[in-house]
Structure 1
Amino acid sequence: MKLNFTKSSVVFMIVAFFLLFMFVVLESLDSKAVIIIFLSLFMLFISTKCFYIGCFVNIVLLIYLPFMLIQNNHVLLNRNETFTLIFILCAIFLTSIFDFLILAYHINNSDKNCNFYITSFFNRPFLKILCIFFLYLSLLFSVIDSFALLYTHLSNIFNEGIIGEDEIFSHLDALYFSTTTFFTIGFGDIRPSEYSEITKRLVIIQAIISHIITTVLWPVAIIFVFGKSTKKIFSKDKDI
């Protein structure tokens, strides 16, 4: 079997990895915010052209995000860093949600503009469904762990973070709180500090993102993947 490399696929890969490299290397939050705008727009574009590259870049970005928080140790000590970091998180997660829907919409279509792989094998819908399933798992991991890391850092700041019967500082407790918040379980044994502002804002943001992922993302994706014809869903019925 022969691999067919096209110019468009090579350009897409170079640009995607360059933007990812810049996002990883840059230390300034403001610089990362600028890069993430370009990377988000490019991911949405590339997903309409190259299924596997768009999916791979999105997965790498989502998996790297929690490690970015660990490496840079953003403790949200000042107002500018707080809003910049929240913007980066929202941009990545919302872009990933839109990217997921775009990829799901194009599962049954062949990648004619990006055939650097063995077309007869990799254009099978089952493999594409498997890829967006891993993308969904990466999205879950990134949302839950990223917010858990922020809750852990905020617990070291006066009047911020999460509390329970005792003082909460461990990452496991923060991960537990982030998971129950994501799946809207809400046992109430761990909660935001009474006078916290940043923590409560993060809880609101996580709850909104979680609601979109759990109640909107999958139903629409299932319609795209398993519908007889996704184009008919949005087209007007001539008989009406």
Structure 2
Amino acid sequence: MSLPALDKYIQAFLQTLLMVGTSAVIALSVGLALAIVLTITASGSLYPHPRFNRGLSIVVNVFRAVPFIILLVALLPVTRFIVGTTLGTWAAVVPLSISLIPFYARIAQVSLREVDPGLIEAARAMGCRRHHIVRHVLIPEALPGLVGGMTVSLIAMINASAMAGAVGAGGLGDLAIRYGYERYETRVMFEVIVILIALVTLIQFAGEGLARRFDHRG
């Protein structure tokens, strides 16, 4: 059995970046929006709406509790409807995004909750409108934690994208399965692991650097 050529590694790497990048834009945007809504609709917050908050929280918990591999299979009809196929890189974007939205929503919600209530009350006392408080106080103060949560979510997406490769989604996971596992080429498995470790390390360092840059409390 011949080992995959360099262009196979490059293609798989680019497919992984496409999956993770596209899913990240969707999941982090929607997840942040959900986190803001969950935070400001809680009792005693800017837009208190306890019943709506509890209902939305239950929905987030339900999707967060489903393992990715089960969600991947369960969403096949949805994936086929949106993308037109259940195979390939773009097909993996749907379950990846839906899986990571509640994951990041909860991480972001924790960061938003940790914002000093005194800052919010001071802004309200100065006559700031509630949506201005969200935009100019709540989000900027929580930004280091939000960036840190994005880093964790991106790494989780890389892990999930490798798992999606086992069902024909392409990327590094698919390369490791087809050449490393099915053809018993240990070298390929090792090389894919090294690439994934390097990618995760790069994202971790970049995320930590951004979080420190946005943290003005130090």
TM superposition score normalised by structure 2: 0.38
Please state which structure has a larger fraction of its residues in helix.
2
Q: Greater RCO between the two (CA within 8 Å, min separation 6)?
A: 2
